[in-house]
A and B are shown apart, each in its own frame.
Chain A
Amino acid sequence: MRRFGYNLKQAFVQMGRNKGMYFTTILAITAMMLILGLFFVAFVNVNLFTKSIEKDYNVVQVYVKENTKAEEVKALTESLENMEGVEKVEFVSKADALVSLKDTWGDNAYLLDNLPQNPLPDSFNVYVKDKDAANRLAEEAPKLAGVEDIVYYRDTIEKLAQLSRFVETGSIVAMLFLIIVSIIIVANTIKLTVFNREKEIGIMKYLGATNSFVRAPFILGGIIVGIVSAVVATGLTHLIYSRISGIIGEDVNRILSINFVPAEQLSMVLLVMFLILGVLIGSVGSMISIRRFLDK
């Protein structure tokens, strides 16, 4: 503990001696983490949208032809139930469909009150296990007797899945790139600090200092940079994200019936992630630059 205290003190002393350099490094790492954070929140939300939409669209709507007899409807129900990958078949009568539509329209539902007759057909909500089952159903169902049409948003789901994959890959590539850049930045800062203390390190080694003793203040310095950057970057990401979700969150909710992931929840995850990342960047970066000196 005494040694840790000594090393920590040395780390702060050396940060104090190189204030400008450490400040710039914290700024650079914070910027990197901020970009990383924005990628991350985009990734989490797009993923959530995709999952949520996929879940909603695991339902294939099968519309029944006008004037189909009850026996035919029953037979159709059985045929649908017997199809592979079908989990549940729910019959929605045209009356139920109208009630549901009125619910969706909310305040504007009065517009539907004056219709001469209910224009909606009877339909089935067919819940399928997965996308493959949905595809199969979309292909087979129209061939069954009594089926007018089917509605299945395959294209939308696929596009969303594509977008999600793109954001996912982009995020991973960006994260790796930014992590490497951050490590290089920290390594260079620490290298300059080491240069400034070259004489001191030389004396320390002549005095019989162990490598870990020489290394510790530099690594702690790197870790402090990482931690400070992590906290600042989390704060900034939180601010920006809350602002964006505040501005467009309601619209997204109205259009897609989906909420943004709450900022507080995401910021906690981000903070933990950034702290781990900061410690990693700081320690790896400083170890890289001090190693060469210790090998001398």
Chain B
Amino acid sequence: MIEFKNVSKKFGNNVALDDVSIHIKKGDFVFLVGPSGAGKTTFIRLILKELDPDKGKILLSGQDITKLRKRKIPEVRQKIGMVFQDFRLLEKKTVYENVAFAMEVLHKSRKEIKERVPYVLELVDILDKANRYPAELSAGEQQRVGIARALANQPRVLICDEPTGNLDPVTAMEIMALLELINIRGTTVLMVTHARDIVDAMNKRVVAINDGKIISDGAGGYVFRDFDLDGMPDDASDARKTITSISRQTLTGLSPRQTMTSVSQPTEVSDNEVEDMLSDYL
């Protein structure tokens, strides 16, 4: 899906990425962590082809994007859905229009837009607020719209740049549950974050970058021991319980928001049942 082969990038004398090689496979859920200035943003900008590497190759779905001509950049970005910390919604457009806008930009027909927009809004559980403006929504709801917009064009990979950075812990967990659901449905997710509890709780692949180098790449959130981050309280076990509960209930047919309202009395689903349900999606 995304492959970096010995990629280096310098800004003047500052080394942003130094001989980085990594392979993110289709369907992966990967956290990209590291202190500020470690090279996380450069990593994302390289995938989006906002920057070109000084050395090395970047492959997206097998295509070498480093050699791509400028006018072909939109084709790369059409394969990627971006979710931002600050949501970046258009204030003068309604929720529906914000998502439809993403499709209009790619010249999708009215019919396609009419079919797809309600579908993604339903998926992120915000369809009932389709005619509201972003200012009328809570931060969590705005981020749902941001995710819906990112999904509108059925991207192969979702890149989330600190998507929970502006959210309270409970809402952040809701968003994580939603991202997990999207990942289960087959979309590769690459998420940049500083939130230690989320990384610990999700138990996914974690790639840690420091000084432009990948210093660890593996499952779980243990890498945080190496950083002095201002993360949220280390309450990973509680966070994991919430996410598992939300995910399970989403799979049993409840929407993430409905699950949050009933989170105090979670529906009991056994681990085996969850695995069975997951296999339907995979």
| CB 8 Å contact bits of B73-87 with A (1 = contact, 0 = none) | 011111110100000
Which residues, 1 to 16 on A, are CB-close (under 8 Å) to B? 2-3, 6
With A205-B77, A206-B48, A208-B74 as given contacts, are A213 and B88 in contact (CB-CB < 8 Å)? no
- What's the dominant secondary structure at chain A's contact region? helix
Whether the Cβ atoms of A210 and B90 lie closer than 8 Å is no
Hey, which chain B residues are within 8 Å of A3, CB to CB?
107
Q: Is B282 an interface residue (CB 8 A)?
A: no
**Do A207 and B102 touch across chains, with their CB atoms under 8 A apart?**
yes
Asked whether B90 lies within 8 Å of A203 as measured between CB atoms, the reply is: yes
Measured between beta carbons, the chain B residues less than 8 angstroms from A210 are 71, 74
Set of chain A residues within 8 Å of B153, measured between Cβ atoms: 207-208
- Shortest CB–CB separation between residue B73 and chain A, in angstroms? 8
* Cβ–Cβ contact B105 & A211, under 8 A: no
Report the bound CA distance from A209 to B101 in whole Å.
11
B157 to chain A, nearest CB (A): 13
- Cα A213 to Cα B74 with chains together (Å): 11
Q: What residues on A are CB-neighbors of B107 within 8 Å? A: 2-3, 213
- Which one, B48, B88, B106, contacts A209 given CB within 8 A? B106
With an 8 A cutoff between CB atoms, is A268 at the interface? no
Q: How far is the CB of B206 from chain A (nearest CB, A)?
A: 25
Residues from chain B with Cβ under 8 Å of A207 in the complex: 77-78, 82, 101-102, 105-106, 149, 153
Q: A207-B102, A209-B106 are in contact. Are A200 and B77 (CB under 8 A)?
A: no
Evaluate whether A209 and B90 lie within 8 angstroms (CB atoms) in the complex, with A3-B107, A6-B104 already known. Answer: no
Scan A190-205; emit 1 where CB is below 8 A from any B CB, else 0: 0000000001101111
Total interface residues in chain B, CB < 8 Å: 21
Report B-chain residues with C-beta under 8 Å of the C-beta of A200.
Answer: 90
* Known A-B contacts A6-B104, A211-B71; A206 and B77 likewise in contact (beta carbons under 8 Å): yes
- The smallest C-beta distance from A258 to any residue of chain B, in angstroms, reads 57
Interchain nearest-CB distance for A153 vs B (Å): 64
In the assembly, what is the distance between CA of A173 and CA of B107, in Å?
A: 44
CB-CB < 8 A to A204: which residues of B?
105
In the complex, what residues of A have CB within 8 A of residue B82's CB?
A: 206-207
Distance from B20 Cβ to chain A, minimum over Cβ atoms (Å) = 23
Which of A6, A202, A208 contacts B88 (CB under 8 A)?
A: A202
| B79: nearest chain-A partner, CB-CB | A208
Q: Which of B41-87 contact A (CB under 8 A)?
A: 48, 71, 74-80, 82
Q: In chain B between 124 and 173, which residues have their CB closer than 8 angstroms to a CB of chain A?
A: 149, 153
- Chain B residues within 8 Å of A202, by CB: 88
Question: Do B71 and A213 have beta carbons less than 8 Å apart?
Answer: no
| B residues in contact with A213, CB < 8 Å | 105, 107
Complex Cα distance, B78 from A142, in Å, reads 88
CB-based contact B78/A208 at 8 Å: yes
Question: Which of B90, B101, B106, B109 is within 8 Å of A208, CB to CB?
Answer: B106
Given A206-B48, A208-B153, check contact A199 B106 (CB 8 Å): no
CB-CB nearest in chain A for B149: A207
B75 nearest CB neighbor, chain A only: A208
B225-250 residues with Cβ-Cβ distance < 8 A to A are none
A205 to B75, CA, bound (A): 11
With both chains docked as a complex, state the minimum distance between the C-beta of B36 and any C-beta of chain A, in angstroms. Answer: 22
| Chain B 266-278 interface mask (CB, 8 Å, partner A; 1/0) | 0000000000000
Contact, CB under 8 Å: A208 / B71: no
Identify 18 residue pairs between A and B in the complex whose beta-carbon atoms are under 8 Å apart, listed by A's number: A199-B88, A202-B88, A203-B88, A203-B101, A206-B48, A207-B82, A207-B101, A207-B105, A207-B153, A208-B74, A208-B75, A208-B78, A208-B79, A208-B106, A208-B153, A210-B71, A211-B74, A213-B105
The 3 closest A-B pairs by CB, nearest first: A208-B78, A208-B77, A209-B105
Instruction: Identify the B interface with A (CB < 8 A).
Output: 48, 71, 74-80, 82, 88, 90, 101-102, 104-107, 109, 149, 153
If A199-B88, A208-B77, A208-B79 are given as contacts, then 10 extra A-B residue pairs at C-beta distance below 8 Å, sorted by A number, are A6-B104, A199-B90, A204-B105, A205-B77, A207-B101, A208-B76, A208-B153, A209-B105, A209-B106, A213-B107
